[in-house]
Amino acid sequence: MYIIRFRIKKIGEKMDFKIVNDVLVKNADKSRLNRGTYYYKDGYVEEVKYTNEEKTLSIEGHVGSEYQNRVYNSSIVIDLENKKVISGKCDCQDCMSRSTSSHLAICKHIVAITLYVINLLKSDVISSLKQTTFVVKNKNSAKRSKNFINKDLLNYFKSKPKEEVSLDIKLDLIGPNTISADFKIGIDKMYVLKNLRDFAYARANSNDLMYGIDFVYNPVNNYFSEEDEKIVDMIEEYGMGISYIAPQRELRYMTVGGPQVRRIMEALQYRDFEFKFRNMYYNPRIIKGELPININLEMDDEQILLNCKGMLPVPISQKGDVIFYKGDIYLLSAESGIYYNKLYKVLDEFKEISFTKDEVSEVLTNVVPKIKNICSNVFIDAKIEDNISGELQVKYYFDLEGSKITCDVKFEYEGENEGKFVIKEIAKEKEAIYRLYTYYFEEEKGKYIFKGNDYQLYDFLSTEINRLKNIGEVYYSDKLKRKKYIIQHP
């Protein structure tokens, strides 16, 4: 049943409903025409306002959502003389995301209200009114929609086979540490993901998204492989964050930087994709591990030179843990990435780094071990290799200074006094110090002072001090020996 209010301004020539129909069909895609027809027929149109003045048809309406949990406000303005759409809008996500300032993207809600008016024209309800304004309220919509919901809910949960959707990926390094990703999806034929926001919301809301006559994506009916789903999750997260006023390029391309560069590469580790790097196209492998390069440490007169022969791998992530090299992409650990980033910047600018002989021990101790975690081959000049010191000897010197028991720790490397280069055993040195702390010693002014009580002192001097001999050599001053004897023989 319809409640119709109308105000007649002038009765004149008859308006042909076919004009409106032709304009609608010309400007709406097949999928949205089908969905809008369904919405119109099943009673989702709750109210329509029609105005026809000076050969311009304006339609406004309220259309209920599929589950009656909200109402969309839709409108369209049609130039009847030139048979074209002038303007329009709808507050649904589909219309807002696809429309621009110069183009109305017709959604199913706009289709529904337009078909409602076309039907009124066909049934002669308003066919004889040239200039008219009226409102139609449809009381049957709620009842029909509730009937549909029952059937739709049962159909929604009905078990049915799903079709796997393929995903094609193209990556492009568009700036320092920034990658642009372009996607295609499909089953028999691949279609460009032109609007990542539409895709994201279609997945979130389980809505249909039409890409071609033979392919409509819906997460209820389709699925991606386990590996592709990692990428699709990223697309969904990205798409949900795109602004409604974003330009078309932002809707199509996913731009990632920071930690997301590594995330997308890890997701691509076991699949094929295309990567554009400096205007060249590659199909890279993703490799976790060391870089296949040679880093050399050479002695040149009074200098030590650090260099890399050949092309340097290029970091493409901000942290330096994603590296492009000879057509492949390497993933380093976060720590190795940080150190390689620094090494790359220096070697890329200066080609080699020179150190004095006095700095060689520090290079061997701190730099070389970290480089070995980065690349597979570190070559050390024989002149350096043959002049490296021997094993570490830890020596504890205990003394009694006033009432305080002190310890001075010395780290001596075999051959150090002969001018050999020292590679410090950092872990062993730390362990030697750590043991003192476990026996209640604390550092003060370069020495370690005993801070325990009398019982702890007794245990240390009678038993625990001998355990330090498993780490290094232990020496006592004569004053401490006498105190040790008194404690053990009260």
Write the Ramachandran bin of 111: left for phi over 0, alpha for psi from -120 to 50, otherwise beta: alpha
Distance between CA atoms of 110 and 32, rounded to whole angstroms?
9
The 3 state secondary structure assigned to 164-191 is ECEEEEEEEEEECCEEEEEEEEECCCEE
Task: Read off the pTM.
Answer: 0.68
Distance between CA atoms of 259 and 88, rounded to whole angstroms?
41
Distance between CA atoms of 132 and 365, rounded to whole angstroms?
90
Angle (CA) 102 60 21, round 5°: 75
CB atoms within 10 A of CB 21: 15
Q: Look at residue 1 in the predicted model and tell me its pLDDT.
A: 35
CB 276 within 8 A of CB 170: yes
Instruction: Tell me which amino acid residue 114 is.
Output: T
CB 416 within 8 A of CB 433: no
Q: Look at residue 67 in the predicted model and tell me its pLDDT.
A: 64
- The β-bridge relationship of strands 178-186 and 280-282 is unpaired
Q: Look at residue 128 in the predicted model and tell me its pLDDT.
A: 43
- Biggest CA-to-CA distance, the chain: 128
- Residue 394's SS3 state is strand
CB atoms within 10 A of CB 86: 13
Q: Look at residue 11 in the predicted model and tell me its pLDDT.
A: 32
Q: Mean pLDDT for each consecutive 10-residue tract of the chain (490 residues)?
A: 36 62 91 89 86 87 79 92 93 87 92 90 57 56 58 73 94 96 95 92 85 83 94 96 84 95 96 96 96 93 89 96 98 96 95 91 93 93 91 95 93 92 93 96 94 91 91 92 62
CB atoms within 10 A of CB 417: 9
DSSP element (H, E) containing 113: helix 108-122
Distance between CA atoms of 99 and 93, rounded to whole angstroms?
10
- Residue 484's SS3 state is helix
Q: Look at residue 271 in the predicted model and tell me its pLDDT.
A: 92
Distance between CA atoms of 474 and 455, rounded to whole angstroms?
21
Strand ranges, E, within 265-363? 274-277, 280-282, 286-288, 291-300, 303-308, 314-315, 322-325, 328-331, 352-356
